[in-house]
Structure 1
Amino acid sequence: MNTNKASSEDATPHHFRQPTAEDGYVLNQLVENSPPLDPNSVYCNLLQCTHFAETSVAVEENGVLVGFISAYIPPAKPDTVFVWQVVVDKSQRGRGLAKKMLHAIVDRPACSAVSHMETTITPDNEASWALFRSFARDKGTEINDHIWFEKDAHFGGKHDSEALLRIGPFSDDRSS
């Protein structure tokens, strides 16, 4: 899969790249303008763009940040990439950009030992469920889930429960 060029249904090319510290503030604004996503502090976004740069992806269109996935490899799970947050500018939704970003991450050299992907999603977030189910189908693999963080026990009743999804194992073919 070539993630650096637009598909035939995409008239404008997207530039997929590793994030840098200069993306931190812009990422913060993109997330803030994309409810219902939970915003992080600018400092947190700076860490995502630097500490997790090798496993995250920034997407530009005409020099403007229009998509971002923050992800990392948990120290205790070197075979797993954990997707922290997916954001796509509202002008880009419906163009398959989020799934292209997921594929771009697992195709990175930093993910060469990765055979699974994990993320958390609230039970009612249908768009995210559809995205990760589609990614699992692309990879020809399973998706398993269970509630990981509970509304009352972990969020003080102020945030919906989060289900942990585990996708994998993937095949060694990173271009699917």
Structure 2
Amino acid sequence: MNARNDLLWDTLELRHPLPTDGYALNQLVAASPPLDTNSVYCNLLQCQHFADTSVAALIKGELVGFISAYCPPNDSETLFVWQVVVSEALRGSGLGKRMLTWLIDQPGTEKAQRLTTSITPGNRASWSLFESFARDCGAIPVKSMLFDRHRHFAGEHDDEYLLQIAPLPNRPDKPINHHLDDLRAGLRFSNRRWLD
């Protein structure tokens, strides 16, 4: 790592979001196409209701990265990452992976055995981030169709693929077959499935 990156990481603060981060999050996402924007109200709720399972990255008080995530109500063993955003100036710096790594070590996510997210086929940055994260965890990434462009989006949005990563590090040891069975079970309703 070079001196510039060392200085950058020395000034980086990772913490759970506060409702006062909602507007800054809205502006950061709006400045980061092709990410889907939400209303400021939605972002305020993310920062309040999902604070324990999300992370805000700040440098000198400025929001430069954010991960919105939650555990689905019927599945406390899954952490679903809704959106990852990194300011343009810091893309490629490794901030996204730092935020993911920080997040899975927090008390609000300790029950999660697996991480899931949805990614469009052309979002190379997200595929790269999550595949690299899976490698670092020694985890098995599994992808399947989640929402079809024509069936679910009436042709107005790209396909969304579900990527599942398990096992997460620092969790109680379970045999790898347990994780494979869980991941495959999540694909039962998919028309296409494969292990990468």
TM-score normalised according to structure 2 size: 0.83
Give me the identity figure in percent: 52
Equivalent runs, 1:16-165 vs 2, <5 Å:
16-165=14-163
Q: Secondary structure at the match of 1:151?
A: coil
**Distance in 2 between the 1:91 and 1:10 partners?**
16
Aligned AA (2:111):
A
- Counterpart residue number, 2:7: 11
**Distance in 2 between the 1:173 and 1:97 partners?**
23
Aligned AA (2:37):
P
Aligned AA (1:62):
K
Greater helix share, structure number: 2
**Distance in 2 between the 1:131 and 1:81 partners?**
16
**Distance in 2 between the 1:173 and 1:156 partners?**
40
| Residue 171 (structure 1) shift | 3.3
**Distance in 2 between the 1:46 and 1:108 partners?**
21
Larger radius of gyration: 2
Contact 2:145/2:161, CA 8 A, preserved across alignment: yes
Aligned residues: 169
Aligned AA (1:30):
L
Structure 1: gaps of 5 or more residues: 1-5
Structure 2: gaps of 5 or more residues: 173-196
Contact 2:113/2:171, CA 8 A, preserved across alignment: no
